[in-house]
Amino acid sequence: MTTLPLERPRARARAERRERVLLAPITVTPSKPLTPSHLKGLLWTDVMYRATRELADVTFRSSQTTYHPTEQTLGFWEFLDRTHGDREYAECSEEEIGELYVAFRAEGTRAPAEALRPYADAVEHGWVHPASRRVLGLWSGHYAGLGLHDPGLLAHQPPGLGLDETIAWLSALGLCVDLREVGGPVHLDTTRFGLPLRQIVTADGRPNYLACALRELMPLTADFDEVVLLYDRELGPDHQQLAHVLALLGPRVRRVPIGRVPIDGRVRSARHGGWQDNHAGALLASARAGYAEPVVRLGMRLYFIATLGPGQAQSFDPALVRQCLKRAERLLAAAADTDPSDDLAERLARHRKDHVYVDPYRLTSSLLGRRGPVPGHDLLSAVFL
């Protein structure tokens, strides 16, 4: 007589048919240091990616190439070349390049479309301005330090559709008003869902980030069961429209807005600067001075995910970061070796609702629970370290 193993119907059902999930976070423009708001989004997405990977086939798509054609990036590059000529960027710090970005935004003038065209064309062929290449190189170092999955910061990852093709796809779906023939702009049209017309290409042919997102995501989504859009809360209306468009192509689309991190009570755009002492490089350096790498990685996740939560009510607080690092040190010291029959996928699967992705906030907060079992090494190393 044989003994049947304990039934785990849920985990098994998942294992038989792994769902395909696309994580598509909004990218950060490579023109400045990573601020606490950026870090929060990156850590949030990383935990979601690594946890969901245990349960489903996950593709993490975050292409810098896709978003270079936006005006804020091309305009910055044109500004650098126009005002600083042959400056050498390979030795610049993120802060120095960030200061130049602040100067660019302060200039307030919009370069004519013709001035940006060579930059836009070069991007399509894999070119990146040395200043942004430098920033992306420095970010790669921060990603490595924080244990973040690198989705290809320095890789040329062009979107699957050109701008004209994207507009043709949208037109075929009745989702755009294309006035290019009469010299006008292109609007995304989700009015059938009661949402207002949204311009995606200006009359002189400049695409905005929503047009770039459509170029990338429209050809990708059909291959997935679930698409998760992660974005700054204030970009909610655009992502609502994007979600409607992608859902028409087949998958379930989930929107995960992430609140920004106020500094001294104010949510400020990076275009104004003000990242001194609290950008990723500085934070990492000060945490590493007192703690080992695994502690830093877990501590940052405890702070930016579990402590700050999805909203944006709490200002950045270095004292709380230190507390989280101490807490991480204790958690790692107490971490248990788990029974191999206590399936990690099943433990992760508890932290979701009707979606396939694992909710990073619920999962990370569960580490801080006073009751319940101590987190296992397997969970920590798979998701948090």
Partner 1 sequence: MSREESAAQERLREAAAARIRAARPELADAHDLTSAEGLIAVRARIAEEAAAPEHLAAVVVGRFDLASWARATCEFALGLGPEQAAAWRRSFTRTVFLAGNPDNLRERFSFAHFADDGSAAWTGPGPAADSAGLRRLLKLFDGPRPLPVRADTVVEVPPRAGRRPDRPPVHRELHIAASGCRVSDALVHLNHLLAEAVLDGLIRPGDTLTIRHVPRLTGLTDHFAALRVDTDPTLPGRLRAAAGLTEEALLVPHHRP
CB of 188 to partner 1, least distance (A): 11
Instruction: Give CA–CA dist 245/112, Å, rounded.
Output: 31
In eight-state DSSP terms, residue 270 is G
**90 binding partner 1? (CB under 8 A):** no
Selected range binding partner 1 among 20-28, 90-98, 149-157, 171-179, rule: CB under 8 A: 171-179
**248 binding partner 1? (CB under 8 A):** no
CB of 15 to partner 1, least distance (A): 42
Contact residue for partner 1 among 59, 72, 140, 199 (CB under 8 A): 199
Terminal Cα-to-Cα distance of the chain (whole angstroms): 44
Instruction: Give CA–CA dist 265/328, Å, rounded.
Output: 26
**376 binding partner 1? (CB under 8 A):** no
**373 binding partner 1? (CB under 8 A):** no
**182 binding partner 1? (CB under 8 A):** yes
CB of 189 to partner 1, least distance (A): 5
Compare residues 22 and 201 and give the one whose CB is closer to partner 1: 201
Instruction: Give CA–CA dist 384/367, Å, rounded.
Output: 11
Contact residue for partner 1 among 93, 191, 269, 276 (CB under 8 A): 191
Selected range binding partner 1 among 6-14, 20-28, 174-182, 370-378, rule: CB under 8 A: 174-182
Q: How many CB atoms lie within 10 A of CB 183?
A: 8
Contacts of 372 (CB under 8 A, 6+ apart): 366
CB of 165 to partner 1, least distance (A): 19
Contact residue for partner 1 among 113, 154, 203, 235 (CB under 8 A): 203
CB of 205 to partner 1, least distance (A): 13
CB of 248 to partner 1, least distance (A): 12
Instruction: Give CA–CA dist 39/321, Å, rounded.
Output: 13
- Contacts with partner 1 by CB under 8 A: the residue count is 19
**194 binding partner 1? (CB under 8 A):** yes
376 φ, ψ to 5°?
-85, 155
- Nearest CA to 151 out of 3, 41, 310 is that of 41
**184 binding partner 1? (CB under 8 A):** yes
Instruction: Give CA–CA dist 58/71, Å, rounded.
Output: 31
Compare residues 23 and 218 and give the one whose CB is closer to partner 1: 218
Contacts of 279 (CB under 8 A, 6+ apart): 33, 34, 35, 36, 94, 95
- Nearest CA to 87 out of 118, 129, 26, 144 is that of 129
Selected range binding partner 1 among 6-14, 93-101, 197-205, 367-375, rule: CB under 8 A: 197-205
In eight-state DSSP terms, residue 361 is H
Instruction: Give CA–CA dist 8/290, Å, rounded.
Output: 43
DSSP for 16-46, written as a single string: HSPPEEEEEEPPPPSSSPPPHHHHHHHHHHH
**174 binding partner 1? (CB under 8 A):** yes
Compare residues 184 and 376 and give the one whose CB is closer to partner 1: 184
Pattern 333-352, partner 1, x by CB under 8 A: --------------------
**205 binding partner 1? (CB under 8 A):** no
- The residues binding partner 1 (CB under 8 A) are 174, 177-179, 181-185, 187, 189, 191-192, 194-197, 199, 203
